[in-house]
Amino acid sequence: MKVKIMQRSVYHKYAEIEVEVPKDVDVQEWLMDNEVNWDDIMDNAFSKAKYEFGNGMDTYDWSDRDEESEWMYMCDDGFGGHL
């Protein structure tokens, strides 16, 4: 008799950067309109991030369990959302 033994282990990377956003603007709209100003910085930070065991869903308010990638922003006052 043959028996298959299998394992699936999930690893993730996590990176964050800080971006200066002007006051009195719609933060999400400003971030989307000015992606060129911070996208490469995030890519660089992400490429340097170490792999960690687990799916990473235990930090912040990640909610897209079925997606391969998820982007969020969080303001100093705790307001945030998905990008």
Q: Which H or E run includes 31?
A: helix 27-33
User: CB within 8 A of 81, min separation 6: which ones?
Assistant: 28, 72, 73
Describe the chain by its helix, strand, coil percentages, rounded to 5. 25, 10, 65
**Tens digits of residue pLDDT in 4-35:** 888 888 888 989 999 999 999 999 999 999 99
Judge if pTM exceeds 0.85. Answer: no
